[in-house]
Structure 1
Amino acid sequence: MKVLNVHKRIINQSKSEVSEILKTLATENDKVWPKEKWPEMKFKGGIKVGAKGGHGPIRYSVEKYNPNEIIQFKFSKPIGFNGIHKFEIEELDKNKTEIKHTIDMNAKGKGIFIWTFAIHSLHNALIEDGFDKIENNLSDSKKKTEWNFWTKFLRKQISKRKK
């Protein structure tokens, strides 16, 4: 099953401001990843080409890294996730930057089931929470995207399993 999942947000800041925030990804002072609500993104030794890491049960390695333009990861787990996910930033004008997150993969076998019934909804909420965090770090706004019913249901089931 072909999966192309794209999230975009326009941030009313310069590309250099947004790229400085992107440089904090997977660091102790992470201003991108919503680790307050989601499993933390971790890489031993930080993000650099070839580094292996991930978040929760999702594993990947860094394929491309230029914090002024792109961070691209290649999936290694779960089995059946064959492809990449990436963050990209593009200057639209002097004080307007688009941040984009893309999953481009072919899901196979169990990966189809996992993506369709669990990861898709959770992923969408996680990325929007991350974009909220970026925006909130660069402005006085307190953006908070509401989770859909399925995301709330899945999160509740996951928290019950942890107890």
Structure 2
Amino acid sequence: MKNVQRRVIPAPPERLGQVIDEITDPGRSVWPRPAWPDLRLDNGPTPGSSGGHSTIRYTVTAYEPGRRLAFAFNQETGLDGWHELTVTTGENGRPTLVHTIEARTTGPMRWRWPLAVRWLHEALVQDLLDNAELAATGTLAHRPARWSPWVRLLRWWLRPTR
């Protein structure tokens, strides 16, 4: 399975790089909280640091300040592969923030990914990209991301019970 989401953001690449550098800093992060479970790493964005969000666990495999943060999934999550957030030069040389996942699904994730996790993940990343664009430019060039009816139903169904 491969999933790539990207957003061209009209801001200097250095500013987009700050988004990556600050993603695990609760005071400055563009991580979409409280709507989504916090991203936590036990030693910040440094190789070998472990953590994740919700039940998805991973380890930092590479960190290039201002450019790239990469992770390998812990196999017990049912994902055998990696994901990363990068700043690239996209269309017509414009700065682009890209989130990529490449993994093989195993165990229950074989059905969880296509039915639920994929849709929740894409909604989370779109919220993250909205926050990154707002932080980098002060505005959005389009309407804010909107959760599909399926994502809203999944979030209702999977909500914590009291």
Per the alignment, residue 106 of structure 1 pairs with 104
Per the alignment, residue 147 of structure 1 pairs with 147
RMSD: 1.9
SS in 1 for 2:118: helix
TM-score by length of 2: 0.91
| Separation of aligned partners in 2, 1:121 and 1:62 | 24
Within the alignment, does 1:87 sit opposite 2:90 as a pair? no
| Separation of aligned partners in 1, 2:54 and 2:47 | 21
TM-score by length of 1: 0.90
Q: Percent identity?
A: 26
| Separation of aligned partners in 1, 2:76 and 2:148 | 24
Structure 2 CA distance for partners of 1:79 and 1:138, relative to 1, 3 Å: closer
Per the alignment, residue 8 of structure 1 pairs with 6
Per the alignment, residue 41 of structure 2 pairs with 43
SS in 2 for 1:39: coil
Aligned mate of 1:137, from 135, 138, 160:
135
For the Cα contact (< 8 Å) 1:13–1:138, is it kept in 2? yes
Deviations, residues 86-137 of structure 1 (Å, cap 9, x unaligned) = 00111359x9310100010011221211211121000000000000000111
Q: Which runs of no fewer than 5 residues in structure 2 stay unpaired?
A: none
- Name segments (4+ residues, structure 1) moved above 6 Å: none
Q: Deviation at 1:78?
A: 4.4
Q: Which runs of no fewer than 5 residues in structure 1 stay unpaired?
A: none
Partner letter of residue 151 of structure 1? V
1:30-69 to structure 2, matched below 5 A, reads: 30-69=28-67
Q: How many residues align?
A: 160
| Separation of aligned partners in 2, 1:114 and 1:98 | 29
Per the alignment, residue 162 of structure 1 pairs with 161
For the Cα contact (< 8 Å) 2:83–2:100, is it kept in 1? yes
| Separation of aligned partners in 2, 1:125 and 1:78 | 23
| Separation of aligned partners in 1, 2:95 and 2:30 | 15
For the Cα contact (< 8 Å) 1:26–1:46, is it kept in 2? yes
For the Cα contact (< 8 Å) 1:40–1:55, is it kept in 2? yes
For the Cα contact (< 8 Å) 1:57–1:78, is it kept in 2? no
Structure 2 CA distance for partners of 1:43 and 1:135, relative to 1, 3 Å: same
